Amino acid sequence: MQILGCQTLFDFVNNQKNLRAAGLQAISSMIWFMGEHSHISVEFDNMVSVVLENYGGPMKNLEENNSGQSRWVQEVQKIESRMSPLPNFLTKVPSWRTIVNEKGELNVATEDARNPSFWSRVCLHNMAKLAKEATTARRIFESMFRYFDNEKLWSVHNGLALPVLREMQLLIDSSGQNAHYLLSILVKHLDHKNVLKQPDMQLQIVEVTTSLARDSKVEPSVAILGAVSDVMRHLRKSIHCSLNDSNMGTEVINWNKYFKEAVDKCLVQLSHNVGDAAPILDVMAMMLENITNITAIARTTICVVYRTAQIVASIPNPSYLNKAFPEALFHQLLPAMVHPDHEVRVGAHRIFSVVLVPSSVCPHPSSTRGVKLKASSIPRTLSRTVSVFSSSAALFEKLRREKSFSRENASLENKENIASEEQLEISQNEILIRLKSSYSKAYSSRSPPVSSEADENSLSNSNTEYEANSLRLSSTQISLLLSSIWAQSVSPQNTPQNYEAIAHTYSLVLLFSRAKNSSNETLVRSFQLAFSLQSIAFNEGGPLPPSRRRSLFTLATSMILFSSKAFNIIPIADYAKVDITEITVDPFLRLVDDRKLQAVNTGLNQPKNVYGSKEDDTLALKTLSEVQLPSEQHRETLASEIVRSLGHLSEPELSSIRARLLREFLPDDVCPLGSQFPTDAPHKVYQASAEENEFIIKELQFFHLMMMMMMLL
């Protein structure tokens, strides 16, 4: 008995591998049984632990035997860990029906039958088949996640989580199911109470998610969009933490920096896996919904949505062309454009510009249409020197070249046009002289030059990139944008960056309205808006301080210039150009090549006064005093020139347009004007205009009544 006991103990100690293989063989059968009968045992967590403990058995022994290897070998293993740290990972495991025949007999090689790692992977295969429903899949993955949490196995270099989850992902995909649910639940695991207390683990989970997303299918799904939304939320949290990092230690600051970079890479990869811009734009709209008035939260929200817009712009999407601007996002951007915080307002304009013209931040859509772009190249394509507010300037340059080419062709076809052009130039000079006479002497001072060579050079080299892959604006959207621009322009809290953003959006509205049948309506409303803002700029009793009124005048005059260029009314363009360069000078705003209003960066050789300070207000009053208030005769002259450019219309239509140009701009009632909307002087201007309209209506009603009475007589 003693001898038999010793021999039994010897066999037990020296056959642990066979015992573990036999145990895992039994567990694999139990998991298959659960799948057949749709039932999960209460001991499933223990079963998962046993399976995962034996999944990397051979690698553990290999690491123990090679513990004294040199450092460079370890680095090589880290680099190659993207494939798998397990040498048997690429070995295909046969199906369960191949392993066990209909009679219940085992049909595997003797070497595999005694290998615990083989049976561990068989268990994983059966788990993947078990995860057919969302509830069951969540139960399986949560058990795995708990094991990885407890054993700290999330590292992408030497952890077990990545190879296990990658194999599960491949198995789910091969079975015809969508493995995006794995990415979604993995991102949600970042909010688990066990993970929240371990920052390094959070970073590792994000890296694992990014790596898994690289091998995932590219198709839109509810699960992948949920993951995108959650990652955007984590990016917002990381940006918010970096706002007040002065009170944090160096270690926390560095971790937050790495975490933000990792989350950004994850967002890029997940967005690429969606493969379509439209669903992500809806997610962006949801994040902007009911944006808070709390400054810090609102700014981080806008920052995340803007970053997502940049990423979406980098996704090759042929169906993007000629689509209307998404209504959901548009109606969330309108309130953001009139948000109390000036930085949020600028951010909303950036988002609008990038979504409308994706090539403003990424050049590839127009040049690589139909070519699949790797997600890893997206961050690199976004590193550009051109400002997002340069797209309108590029479109203006494209428009100028088209007109120049058209004039050259017309000149070759008919040389008689030369004489008519000379006559037109003489007429334009006469009009320009009359317009100049309505103003006082030119203000002699000049604003200091601004260094923007990189921006302008990049802009000139990328004009062709803005031609394609743009959305379209509906007539209703154009009308609402003009009303919103009016409300934004008269805000007392504006900064030079706000005026730059407003001018850019205004230019985009003009350029995208030219191809519409209602372009004449936009022409009237745009000039009407610019004329009204000019009048408000000279209202001394209003709520706007002198510095804002000076900038508003610069903005309004630039608007007149942009409108005349967009609709090819050259005499008014010449007037606006002379007015903005000679009569008034804003040291904080400058006109770049007659195509773009740019905020002047404060720094060396730049304006020394603080914008809006007492000194700046004093200088602004002096500047405004050099300019006479535009008279009714002056506005009538401009209106007549605009009407003359529309000679193809009937006389009643021209008379109606001229009358509208002489009236003040009235914003749409349905457009959100924001809490910063001034209720004093500007409102009185439009109140007077409304009373004038009411008087005209009453006069027409009275005239109609008199005509009816005469007919009865």
Give the pLDDT confidence of 209-261 residue by residue, as tens digits.
999 999 998 999 999 999 999 999 999 999 998 887 777 788 889 999 999 99
Q: Assess whether 659 and 711 both reside in one domain.
A: no
425 has pLDDT over 60: no
Q: Assess whether 364 and 446 both reside in one domain.
A: no
For the residues 34-42, what does the mean pLDDT come to?
Answer: 80
The per-residue pLDDT for range 645-679, each reduced to its tens digit, is 887 788 888 999 999 999 999 988 888 776 655 44
Q: Assess whether 304 and 437 both reside in one domain.
A: no
Task: State the pLDDT at residue 381.
Answer: 41
110 has pLDDT over 90: no
100 has pLDDT over 80: no
CA dist., res. 447 & res. 62, Å (int): 72
- Under the banding of pLDDT at 50, 70 and 90, the label for residue 409 is low
Q: Which of 384, 410, 429 is the last residue of a domain?
A: 384
For the residues 418-433, what does the mean pLDDT come to?
Answer: 47
Q: Assess whether 355 and 377 both reside in one domain.
A: yes
Question: Is 218 among the domain residues?
Answer: no
Q: Assess whether 512 and 589 both reside in one domain.
A: yes
Spatial CB neighbours of 9, under 8 Å, sequence gap ≥ 6: none
- Asked if residue 234 lies in contact with residue 287, where contact means CB atoms within 8 angstroms, the answer is no
The per-residue pLDDT for range 561-604, each reduced to its tens digit, is 999 988 888 888 877 777 666 556 788 998 888 888 999 876 55
Question: Is 496 among the domain residues?
Answer: yes
Question: Is 11 among the domain residues?
Answer: no
Query: Is residue 435 helix, strand or coil?
Result: helix
Pairwise pLDDT comparison (296 vs 290), residue with the higher score = 296
Question: Is 245 among the domain residues?
Answer: no
Q: Assess whether 411 and 375 both reside in one domain.
A: no
CA dist., res. 180 & res. 169, Å (int): 9
- Asked if residue 713 lies in contact with residue 573, where contact means CB atoms within 8 angstroms, the answer is no
Task: State the pLDDT at residue 91.
Answer: 58
Q: Assess whether 25 and 58 both reside in one domain.
A: yes
449 has pLDDT over 60: no
- In the chain, how many domains are there? 4
Q: Assess whether 467 and 599 both reside in one domain.
A: yes
Question: Is 473 among the domain residues?
Answer: yes
Q: Which of 577, 547, 584 is nearest to 561 (CA)?
A: 577
416 has pLDDT over 80: no
Q: Assess whether 346 and 405 both reside in one domain.
A: no
CA dist., res. 380 & res. 259, Å (int): 19
Task: State the pLDDT at residue 476.
Answer: 92
Q: Assess whether 370 and 428 both reside in one domain.
A: no
Per residue in 126-157, is it b (16+ CB within 10 Å) or e — as a string?
bbbbbbeeeebbebbbbbbbbbbbeeebbbbe
- Under the banding of pLDDT at 50, 70 and 90, the label for residue 623 is confident
CA dist., res. 618 & res. 115, Å (int): 86
Amino acid at 207: E
- Cα–Cα distances in Å, from 691 out to 542, 683, 686, 696? 20, 12, 9, 9
Question: Is 26 among the domain residues?
Answer: yes
Q: Assess whether 424 and 321 both reside in one domain.
A: no
Q: Which of 384, 411, 430 is the last residue of a domain?
A: 384
Q: Which of 101, 134, 167 is the last residue of a domain?
A: 134
Question: Is 270 among the domain residues?
Answer: no
- Under the banding of pLDDT at 50, 70 and 90, the label for residue 504 is very high
Task: State the pLDDT at residue 592.
Answer: 85
Strand ranges (E), 138-216 = none
Domain range spanning residue 111?
A: 16-134
Please, where are the H alpha helices in 538-578? 546-566, 570-578
- Under the banding of pLDDT at 50, 70 and 90, the label for residue 611 is very high
Spatial CB neighbours of 29, under 8 Å, sequence gap ≥ 6: 100
Task: State the pLDDT at residue 80.
Answer: 39
Q: Assess whether 368 and 478 both reside in one domain.
A: no
Per residue in 444-481, is it b (16+ CB within 10 Å) or e — as a string?
eeebeebebeebbeebeebbebbebbbbebeeebbbbb
Please, where are the H alpha helices in 439-518? 453-460, 475-489, 496-513
Question: Is 219 among the domain residues?
Answer: no
379 has pLDDT over 50: no
